[in-house]
Structure 1
Amino acid sequence: MADFEMRGISKSFGNVHALIDADFSANKGDIMGLLGENGAGKSTLIKVLAGVVKADSGKVELFGKPVDHSTPKAAMHAGIRVVHQELSLVRSATVAENIFITEDEKPFSRKSLKNLNKRALELFETLDVDDLDPSAYVGTLPLASCQKIEIIKAVAFDFDVLVLDEATSALTEKDTEWLFRLMEQLASQGKILIFISHRLQEVNRICTRIIVYRNGTDVRVAEKDELTTDEIVTEMLGRKMSGYYPDKENLIQDRVMLHVEDLRNETLNGISFDLHAGEILGVGGLSGQGQAALFEALYGASKCTGTIEVNGEKVRMTHPAAALAKGIALVPEDRANEGLVLPLSVKENISLASLSKFVKGGLLNFKAEREAVDEMIRELQIKTDTPEVPVVNLSGGNQQKVVLAKQLLAKPDILLMYDITRGVDVGTKREMFNLMVEHCRQGKAVLFFSTDTEELTHMCSSVYVMYEGRFKAHLEGSEITAENIIRASVGEAAI
């Protein structure tokens, strides 16, 4: 009998069977990789364990005793801590307040902020954290810092089982290394760690064992290095997958669709480039070097100085509506807060940026809207029971598809794609890559930022690497390698 066991777990949402008699087990010191496509049941299994949803059947035991996971609070008291894929921080509270928000000692409003800051600094020293200010408000911090706070919040108190659901997807490479060191330290102390990631190179590096889920149940358990990456992908999909990245095609035309010259603001320090029709132009570099500021400026979401020309016409991007009117659409960094309205349905989210197309005589044509949405759901293979399902009920990968569908429905000429594969499975990644290529085949263009250097090397005709708000290097042809991108990312190469 294993130290930690989930047996016969089943859960349905209406006609959708998210989990079907699923099992999971691990022992002290295990770093267990939980793998599967989006929609395979991983997130539902974790929500059952965390007390977020109640299973229809099954049992959970830790060290031979039943675990009370009837509520999130009960699960935490039972020694279960979860870093969920979507952040749960209070943006109007400080870093220290967020870390200790789950305490039961006394009402939160009576806690001394000075004391919380002191305790946070002591915790940071223990965890080897030197880049967070306990008094900073979370709403002012970048996504990578918020993800790190979520992890610290989870390990701030004693626990037996720690779940990390796509915890590295928003982290910088430096912070990912920090997390891996922490995981190895916790495992050496006898903690049980469950690591969910679609970055298989990370799974192969850090996990001691893996379990693969498909169609709501477990299909394979393997020891470290027992399966190759291709074999893992085959187990996840239930079939062999070839051609993970599309073959590179020379689709670039002479026509400049987007001309940017000397773009500046508080973060950007003189950005200039041309984006041609048919081109997938890459933007690389460590997170937080100005990539988000660049994409937001091009989308009219933040102010800047400099020149922006779209198809030869000088424009002022004062608002996202202005960018959409000029054929520029953004798939943003944070899908939950910037790309979706989570309580609204799949249909409402997809059509949100294109409602004017379905208005006639001041009235919304619901039939035309539904037909357009259904077409996007089919084209992107979004897994949903009906278009009326709240988008919050979808898996992370399918939520990302909804964000992409919303932008594609607006028929943009230029797609700004910011780390679009964050937290999505290998099958969905391939679909997104194919969509990018098809977009360029139509004489349109893509500006593509990714924290995954392998994606940039396989998908882009050239790559600009950002460092401290400027382009540090411009790589073309055979120069586009992971080594060159990483070297420029840390400031070692010149443009």
Structure 2
Amino acid sequence: MNGLFMENIYKSFGDVNVLNGVNFHVQKGEVHALLGMNGAGKSTLMKILAGDLSPNEGTITIDGIEYQFSSPSDAKKAGIGLVVQEVDTALFPSLTVYENIAADDIVETKRRPFLSWKQQKQRSEELLRQVGLSIPLNKLIHECTLHEKQLILLAKVLSSSARYIILDEPTAPLSETETKRLFDIMKQLKSQGVSFIYISHKLKEVKEICDRVTILRDGTVVHRGDVSQLSIEDMIRHMVGRSYETRKKETRTYSDQVIFEVKHLLIPKTNTTVNLQIRQGEIVGIAGLVGAGKTELAESLFAHTKTTGEWFIRGKRYTFSSPKEAIEAGICFIPEERRKQGLFMSETVRTNLTVRLLSSLTKGQWVIKRKEAEVAQQLIETLHIRPSSPHALVKQLSGGNQQKVVIGKWLQTNSDVFIFDEPTKGIDVNAKAEVFSIIRSLADKGKAILYLTSEFQELLDIADTIYVMVDGQLVKRFLAKEVTYEQLIYYSSGGDFHGTTSPFINKEETNVISS
């Protein structure tokens, strides 16, 4: 019996049932999409398959052999590979690229007394070439970009000869070119009998690359079948349990008063300078492809990296040398890598939500627990965080709920400037709508919002003004209501922004403003 079968899988955490008799079947040589809203049970099901968790009930059969995994090592030996969404949790930051790819072989040297480093480097180079990545083998992981780490991890999984590879939001950090390369690799491996379990909220990609789909809702399978038989609207309907209608962009008004401005801000990693201003209540978007320098800009604005320039908040001039100084002046930062930079993963929801408010929750050197609990519960209810217990560990929350916690810790700080770097990465359509609602409410209160993303449709849905970033520079500025998706793609891809009209721009249009 060829293929992977997970049958009657049940899993609960305390009194919370997460999986309720799930049946999941992957055929040999197919790309099988696993879909569902955040909290539907996808991650738990895959953690069971990868050996990170044990089910309360159920069986796993792979190519006719029944397995009981007690560790990730057991799953790996059975042919299961995992490319996680948060790649930093699966790589050794202080080791080199080739040492990470060869890590499993290095661990096995006790059983194999001789390890050829030359052969390991040759093998690593071959695997990197296979995933379309050309970087020095001796480069340290912590020096690599996010999309480089993603491809390195894929190369590492391929080195283990996995037959069933789990891809969790694999294209989130990838450019369109890198995504196409990944899909070409998947198709090549598919023809060799390798199967993929593809988890993504990018449903257009699911339609493009996947053969079959299983959809979970509330820990139960609500649909399985061929992807070709489902429209994107059908997928969303199964995921949320109702029809999904695209929200029409609201006409927003905001003040003419500039409350946040930077002049000659140096972005060290791109060696470029930026001038930018945001008015009171305005949502400004930064559109750029992966590698354009968006995260580097956000980190410089927050003084996360050593930089120079002038900041102006409500007319007052600042120069910052640390994030602490930026926070004290009223700047908040919601980073792209929320697990690494935005949360204390092993702490509770309450601790994470109140960490920025400790000065107002203490008496002497003691935290007033009652007051802390009240503030946390209020934020949980306001943000609709699930589960609603303030004592739940953040690492047990879905990606969408984790993101709400990252945002929530800033909401009662009376800050003026909110910087969002890829805030909807890895979250579903419902959680995305809730994040949008939070951002709009902040803007309605007069906050200055900066929204950086490679998801251009999001900017068209939420932003008032959009800048295009290419190679660390802001090359174009648009009013969001007067620009199209195609125009953003054109200029972000390096279209001539020095005067030549884009083929996507009507000759009569005159409202495109160079920054």
Partner of 1:348: 351
Partner of 1:213: 216
Of residues 391, 398, 411 in structure 1, which corresponds to 2:401? 398
Of residues 120, 123, 131 in structure 1, which corresponds to 2:124? 120
Distance 1:288 1:4 in 2: 37
Aligned: 1:297 with 2:300: yes
Aligned: 1:273 with 2:247: no
Closer, same or farther: CA 440–227 of 1 in aligned 2, 3 Å: same
Q: Secondary structure at the match of 2:216?
A: strand
Partner of 1:42: 42
Partner of 2:489: 486
How far apart are 1:164 and its partner, in Å?
0.3
Aligned: 1:62 with 2:65: no
The one-letter code sitting in structure 1 at the alignment partner of 2:281 is: G
Q: Is residue 281–residue 461 contact of structure 1 (8 Å, CA) maintained in 2?
A: yes
Query: Gaps (5+ residues) in structure 2?
Result: 498-513
Closer, same or farther: CA 356–214 of 1 in aligned 2, 3 Å: same
Q: Secondary structure at the match of 1:287?
A: coil
Distance 1:482 1:174 in 2: 18
How far apart are 1:478 and its partner, in Å?
4.9
How far apart are 1:68 and its partner, in Å?
4.0
Matches within 5 A, 1:32-111: 32-87=32-87, 88-103=90-105, 105-107=108-110, 111=115
- Higher relative CO (CA 8 A, sep ≥ 6), structure 1 or 2? 1
Q: Is residue 251–residue 440 contact of structure 1 (8 Å, CA) maintained in 2?
A: no
Closer, same or farther: CA 80–482 of 1 in aligned 2, 3 Å: same
Closer, same or farther: CA 362–227 of 1 in aligned 2, 3 Å: same
Matches within 5 A, 1:213-362: 213-243=216-246, 245=247, 247-266=249-268, 267-362=270-365
Matches within 5 A, 1:12-31: 12-31=12-31
Distance 1:393 1:171 in 2: 26
Q: Is residue 309–residue 319 contact of structure 2 (8 Å, CA) maintained in 1?
A: no
How far apart are 1:471 and its partner, in Å?
1.0
The one-letter code sitting in structure 1 at the alignment partner of 2:124 is: A
Q: Is residue 466–residue 478 contact of structure 2 (8 Å, CA) maintained in 1?
A: yes
Q: Is residue 381–residue 388 contact of structure 2 (8 Å, CA) maintained in 1?
A: no
* TM-score using structure 2 length: 0.92
The one-letter code sitting in structure 2 at the alignment partner of 1:340 is: L
Q: Is residue 275–residue 281 contact of structure 1 (8 Å, CA) maintained in 2?
A: yes
Distance 2:142 2:109 in 1: 25
Q: Is residue 18–residue 215 contact of structure 1 (8 Å, CA) maintained in 2?
A: yes
Distance 1:473 1:194 in 2: 39
Q: Is residue 127–residue 158 contact of structure 2 (8 Å, CA) maintained in 1?
A: no
How far apart are 1:114 and its partner, in Å?
4.8
Partner of 1:161: 164
Q: Which runs of 4+ in 1 moved over 4 A?
A: 107-115
Across the aligned residues of Structure 1 and Structure 2, the Cα RMSD in angstroms comes to: 1.9
Distance 1:373 1:493 in 2: 49
Q: Deviations over 1:231-265 (max 9, x none)?
A: 2111111123334x462322221010111112114
Q: Is residue 270–residue 470 contact of structure 1 (8 Å, CA) maintained in 2?
A: yes
Closer, same or farther: CA 301–113 of 1 in aligned 2, 3 Å: farther
Q: Secondary structure at the match of 1:9?
A: strand
Closer, same or farther: CA 437–160 of 1 in aligned 2, 3 Å: same
Q: Deviations over 1:122-145 (max 9, x none)?
A: 2223x1524322211011112121
Q: Quick check: 358-367 or 174-183, which moved more?
A: 358-367
Q: Is residue 278–residue 441 contact of structure 1 (8 Å, CA) maintained in 2?
A: yes
Matches within 5 A, 1:112-191: 113-125=117-129, 127-191=130-194
Closer, same or farther: CA 56–383 of 1 in aligned 2, 3 Å: same
* TM-score using structure 1 length: 0.95
Give the fraction of aligned pairs with identical amino acids, expressed as a percent. 34
Q: Deviations over 1:352-373 (max 9, x none)?
A: 1221121233432111111111
Partner of 1:454: 457
How far apart are 1:14 and its partner, in Å?
0.7
Q: Secondary structure at the match of 1:102?
A: helix
Distance 2:2 2:127 in 1: 31
Q: Deviations over 1:38-74 (max 9, x none)?
A: 1100000000001000000000111222134221101
Query: Gaps (5+ residues) in structure 1?
Result: none
Q: Is residue 342–residue 391 contact of structure 1 (8 Å, CA) maintained in 2?
A: yes
Distance 1:2 1:346 in 2: 43
Distance 2:483 2:148 in 1: 28
Q: Quick check: 422-431 or 376-385, which moved more?
A: 376-385
Q: Is residue 281–residue 445 contact of structure 2 (8 Å, CA) maintained in 1?
A: yes
The one-letter code sitting in structure 2 at the alignment partner of 1:316 is: T
Q: Deviations over 1:212-249 (max 9, x none)?
A: 00001211013123222222111111123334x46232
Closer, same or farther: CA 493–370 of 1 in aligned 2, 3 Å: farther
How far apart are 1:381 and its partner, in Å?
1.5
Closer, same or farther: CA 110–13 of 1 in aligned 2, 3 Å: farther
How far apart are 1:162 and its partner, in Å?
0.7
Count of aligned pairs:
493
Distance 1:276 1:440 in 2: 10
Closer, same or farther: CA 113–354 of 1 in aligned 2, 3 Å: farther
Matches within 5 A, 1:357-372: 357-372=360-375
The one-letter code sitting in structure 2 at the alignment partner of 1:73 is: S
Distance 2:488 2:73 in 1: 44
The one-letter code sitting in structure 2 at the alignment partner of 1:211 is: T
How far apart are 1:163 and its partner, in Å?
0.6
